[in-house]
Structures are given as C-alpha cells and as structure tokens.
Amino acid sequence: MQTDYDVIVVGGGPAGTHTAMAIAKYSQQNLRILLIDRNPRAEYGKKTRSGWACGDAVSKKSLDYVCENLGISYSSPELEHHVDGVVVYSPDHEVKVLFDGEGYLLNRKIWPQKQLEYAEKFGVEFAFQVDAKRLLVEDGFIRGVEGINLRDGSVFRKTAKMVIDASGSASVLRIHLPIKSWIERNIDKDNDMESTGRYILEFEIGEDDPTWFDPRYCLIHLDQYLAPGGYSWTFPKGENKVNIGLGVQKKSLDRRNRMFGKDDTLRTLIDEYVRANRVIRNARLSQSPLDSGNTYATWQVPVRRQNDCMVANGYAIVGDAAWMPRPIDAGGIGPSLYASVILGRVVAEAVEANDVSEEMLWRYNKEYVDIYGYQMASFEVLRRYLQTLTNDKISYGMKYFLSQDDIEHIKRREHPKFPRVNNFLRVLFDGELRRRIREEPQLARGLQFTANKSRRLISLYKEYPESSAKFPEWHKRFMAELEEAFNRFS
Ligand SMILES: Cc1cc2nc3c(=O)[nH]c(=O)nc-3n(C[C@H](O)[C@H](O)[C@H](O)COP(=O)(O)OP(=O)(O)OC[C@H]3O[C@@H](n4cnc5c(N)ncnc54)[C@H](O)[C@@H]3O)c2cc1C
C-alpha cells in the first residue's frame, strides 16, 4: 500500500506526542510518523485560544511509567514544583483524605516543547498550523486526514496506513468518524462534560491555614455551592504561586443559580473561590515569562469512563478524545500517558504486520482496561452520586461513613467500599454507627449502592472481551448495570 506516512497522529497534547514517541520506540522498521497540530511550533500543544488550560498536576507514578517505557526524562523547568500528594477536603474543611502520593505541578506551556524535542529525536515528523477537518476512507479503513493549512488557507491532505486521533475532547474526527465502528461518537454533554477554568497567580501569604493553601499538597475542595456538580482546586506552584480554579457541570450550575437567585458564571465562581481563600492575599496574574499567555484559561473536560471501544479499522482514539480523564477529579494526564505507551506498542506491531484492522488493534482496548480503565465506570457512578448531594450530606458522609479502609482504597485510587454502611456485623455491634445511619438513612443507602455497583462494574470490566465479536454482548450487560445507577441518580 502506497501512503505518504505509516501513521498520522492528530493533536500535539500529551496523549498525541507520547503516542507518537511510543510508536517510534516500539517500531522495528523505522516507521514514518507524522504529527499534526493546529498550533505554531512556539505554541505547541496549546488547547484553546486562552492557553494550555490545565490544573497542571500529574502523579510521579504516571510520569515515571511513561519515562521508563520510552527512555526519556523530565525535569525543571517543565516540572515546576514537587508535591507530596493530593488532599481532598469536605465542604466544611473538617475532614481530609490524602491520596495519589508524590507528584508534580507541570509548566504546561514549557512541557510540550520538551516533548517536541524528544519526539524529533525519535524521528517523528511534524506539520504545525494544520487544522485536521476530516478523515479519509478507503475500503472501510481510515487512510489519512484532510485539513486546512492555517498559514495560507490551502488544503492539507496526507494519507497513512492508520490515523490516531489525539485531538482532545472536542474531536471532530471522532464525532464524524465515517466508518462502521463500536466507538461512541458523541458524549452526553449535559451529564458528562464539565466546564473548567483556572488562574495562575502569585500572591502574598494571608492567614496560615493549610486547608486553603499548602505548598506541599495539591488541595481539592468539594463544595456544591462554589463548584456545582464539580470541584475546586488550589494547586501550589511554589511558596507564593498557585494554579487555582474549578470545574462545574452546567446543569448543576443552572439549578444552583435558580435556587439561590444568582447569575454566576464559571468566571465569577472562580473569582469568588479565589476571594474565599484565606491564605491568598493581593493576588496578581503570574508575571513569569514562562506563563505569559497562559495565566487565565478555560476549557471543557470529559468526566465519564473512557469510550467503551477505542479502535476501528485504521483508527484509534487516545487521551481526551477517548474521554480518558478520571470521572471523579478530571485528571486526564496520567491516563493519557498510560494509554500512549500501550497504544504505541499495539500500533507499531499492527502497522508492521500490515494489519490495522479493528481486530488487530483490539488489544489496546483490552490492555488499557486491564491496566488503568477498569475502575472508571465505578468512579463515574460515584461522581453522579456525589452530584446529587448537598454540602451538608457530603461533609456528614465523609465524617461518619468513610472508614480508614476506604481512605486506603482512595489512596490507591480505588473505589471506596464503605464497610461502615455495608457490613452487617459491623453495624450490628456499633451503636454509634447505627445512630448515624438512622440519622442519614438515604445517604447510607446511597453509599451502599455505589459500593456494590462498583464491585459489579469492576468485575464486568475484568471480563472485557478479547475480540470485537464478543463486544456487543458484553456491552449490553455492562450498560444495563450502568443504566440502573444512572436512573437511580438522575
Ligand atoms: C482547566 C483544566 C484543568 C485540568 N487539570 C488537570 C490536572 O490538574 N491534572 C490532570 O491530569 N488533568 C487535568 N486536566 C485534564 C488534562 O488537561 C487533559 O486530560 C489532557 O490535556 C489531555 O491531553 P490530550 O493530549 O488528550 O488533549 P489536549 O491536551 O487537549 O491536546 C490536544 C491537542 O490537539 C490539538 N488539536 C485539537 N483539534 C485539532 C485539529 N482538528 N487539528 C489539529 N490539532 C488539533 C490541540 O490544539 C492540542 O494541541 C484539566 C483540564 C482542564 C481543562
């Protein structure tokens, strides 16, 4: 087959760039790889006009995974600040849960330049300022990309044996995928997409209150009034520097505005959250040249499980284009790094075997689910449940129903099992706990339900099919289980 390239990757974010590197790394035959990004070289990986919108946090574990597999390393200035973990606070700030272990605050504007440097060393070729518009098809396979050269408006058209779509959450390529496939094209925007935004600020220290700012920890504040249907974050980028912002679910924001007679928008809520912070005083937008053009940015994040199928003939999706961010905290960099390594290996083998069929690429679905994705549906259910609760209920649940065992699970990024409301014997012999359950029976039942549902969804993911032929039957069982939860929390 004569094509311009072996593989075309669309999108120069962390998912696309690391996937391109991984294909090159695992290729035995020096595959020709082209990466298309709509930005100019100097703004590589920029998500939107407003900047490299991100909370900038990534766990050391995810970064180590990609670095060890690809033989690369990151350091300062792209790793801007080290943290010991992530702390989630209840709305009343009285309960905290630590999870995720060590991590870094990235400089998302500089990190892509380092990725670019590595990718070029791997032999990846680049087409900057190209906006990919549609996929080319031949005999039921994706065989290239057509788009526009943003520099002069001319048509860009390149063929390849396969195309990887890493063009982020608004992927037009996935929405208009022109071949038969199990890939879901559209996300449920009402339920599964969050509007998010953040500032990068420098400030003077006001009160000493580590529940609002702590240079050693990324703080997540659950607060349905300040961040309806979402959460807010205060991530340190130094002793006096912060990435601060929040995400909201649009319909929850509308409901909250109606309820309180307010007219808040994402921006006014972020401003209110900054003002509420007792530690941050006299804040101003970061003056660092490394942040210029990136001090206030907004964008959307998918917060459902990954697409239940991520491959088609000659086509695969990765990163936000595949809805990979974790439903509970919208962390999408970690999953995209794991997926990039797996996808790169699968694609290199498929292209070199001259078989880029859905069947040959299927292993990517299976391996990703086995290594990372198997918990995402249960987190999606937990996220939907949390969205139905008021601040008081969330604080109460975290105070009285969250056990040490749950905290250990959360630390390992696993779904909590809520044994305090789920273990008959424990409840029987603990009078205080019985009193709490009697006080909040609905809350206890809701937590019980999410824990049991989580167990069933994870066991269904363990049976994720080895081949596409078995997918429809598996998917039917999986969706029946999920829809029961969606109906309960709708
Ligand atoms: C405000 C906010 C805060 C977040 N905080 C965190 C956090 O703290 N930690 C975390 O892990 N995750 C966080 N996330 C999620 C994380 O940023 C994403 O999961 C991650 O960037 C996904 O990487 P990606 O490569 O899939 O997509 P993107 O980073 O979106 O990259 C896509 C690239 O493709 C380009 N592109 C898009 N369409 C086209 C096209 N048609 N043609 C050519 N190029 C195209 C874009 O310009 C961009 O360069 C946050 C997201 C937001 C919005």
The string of pLDDT tens digits covering residues 210-261 is 999 999 999 999 999 999 999 999 999 999 999 999 999 999 999 999 999 9
- 423 Cα: distance to centroid of ligand 1 (angstroms): 41
Three-state SS at 413: coil
- 154 Cα: distance to centroid of ligand 1 (angstroms): 26
Q: Are 309 and 472 in contact (CB under 8 A)?
A: no
- 9 Cα: distance to centroid of ligand 1 (angstroms): 15
Three-state SS at 132: strand
What is the per-residue pLDDT across 33-48, written as a single tens digit (0 to 9) for each? 999 999 999 999 999 9
Give the single-character DSSP code of 440. S
Which residue, 129, 125, 122, 170, is CA-closest to 149? 129
Nearest CA to ligand 1 atom 38: 167
Rounded to the nearest 10°, the torsion over CA 159, 161, 164, 167 is 0
Which residue, 347, 345, 1, 356, is CA-closest to 159? 1
**In the block, which residue shows the tokens 């946090």?**
57
Which residue, 135, 138, 148, is CA-closest to 183? 135
Domain ranges of the chain: 5-54+108-187+304-371, 189-301, 376-489
- 195 Cα: distance to centroid of ligand 1 (angstroms): 13
- 436 Cα: distance to centroid of ligand 1 (angstroms): 42
Q: Are 243 and 270 in contact (CB under 8 A)?
A: no
Q: Are 282 and 203 in contact (CB under 8 A)?
A: yes
Consecutive H or E run containing 101:
none
Identify the pLDDT of residue 405: 78
Beta bridge partners of 298: 197
- 333 Cα: distance to centroid of ligand 1 (angstroms): 8
Instruction: Tell me which of 219, 320, 328 to substitute to probe ligand 1's pocket, judged by most ligand atoms within 8 Å of the beta carbon.
Output: 320
- 49 Cα: distance to centroid of ligand 1 (angstroms): 12
Closest ligand 1 atom number to CA of residue 218: 8
Nearest CA to ligand 1 atom 4: 54
Q: What is the mean pLDDT of the chain?
A: 95
Identify the pLDDT of residue 302: 98
CA angle in degrees (0–180, nearest 5) for 374-183-466 = 50
Closest ligand 1 atom number to CA of residue 173: 41
Whole-angstrom Cα distance, residue 44 to residue 333? 16
Which residue, 385, 369, 373, is CA-closest to 484? 385
Global pTM value: 0.96
What is the per-residue pLDDT across 111-168, written as a single tens digit (0 to 9) for each? 999 999 999 999 999 999 999 999 999 999 999 999 999 999 999 999 999 999 999 9
Q: Are 333 and 234 in contact (CB under 8 A)?
A: no
Q: Where are the beta strands (DSSP E) in 252-391?
A: 280-285, 296-302, 311-312, 315-317
What CATH number has the domain spanning 5-54+108-187+304-371?
Answer: 3.50.50.60
Closest ligand 1 atom number to CA of residue 198: 1
- 168 Cα: distance to centroid of ligand 1 (angstroms): 5
Identify the pLDDT of residue 414: 73
We find that the CATH architecture of domain 189-301 is 2-Layer Sandwich (3.30)
Closest ligand 1 atom number to CA of residue 298: 1
- 474 Cα: distance to centroid of ligand 1 (angstroms): 30
Instruction: Tell me which of 126, 301, 307, 317 to substitute to probe ligand 1's pocket, judged by most ligand atoms within 8 Å of the beta carbon.
Output: 301
Pocket of ligand 1, beta carbon within 6 A: 10-16, 36-39, 45-47, 53-58, 131-132, 166-168, 172, 196-198, 245, 299, 301, 319-321, 325, 330-334, 336
- 239 Cα: distance to centroid of ligand 1 (angstroms): 27
- 320 Cα: distance to centroid of ligand 1 (angstroms): 6
Closest ligand 1 atom number to CA of residue 17: 25
What is the per-residue pLDDT across 373-382, written as a single tens digit (0 to 9) for each? 999 999 999 9
Closest ligand 1 atom number to CA of residue 171: 38
Q: Are 45 and 17 in contact (CB under 8 A)?
A: yes
Nearest CA to ligand 1 atom 39: 167
Whole-angstrom Cα distance, residue 396 to residue 416? 16
Beta bridge partners of 194: 301
**Tens-level pLDDT at each residue, the chain (490 residues):** 799 999 999 999 999 999 999 999 999 999 999 999 999 999 999 999 999 999 999 999 999 999 999 999 999 999 999 999 999 999 999 999 887 789 999 999 999 999 999 999 999 999 999 999 999 999 999 999 999 999 999 999 999 999 999 999 999 999 999 999 999 999 999 999 999 999 999 999 999 999 999 999 999 999 999 999 999 999 999 999 999 999 999 999 999 999 999 999 999 999 999 999 999 999 999 999 999 999 999 999 999 999 999 999 999 999 999 999 999 899 999 999 999 999 999 999 999 999 999 999 999 999 999 999 999 999 999 999 999 999 999 999 989 888 777 777 776 667 777 777 777 667 666 777 788 888 888 998 898 899 899 899 999 999 999 999 999 999 999 999 999 999 998 8
Instruction: Tell me which of 36, 333, 379 to substitute to probe ligand 1's pocket, judged by most ligand atoms within 8 Å of the beta carbon.
Output: 333
What length is written for the chain?
A: 490
Give the single-character DSSP code of 319. G
Nearest CA to ligand 1 atom 15: 332
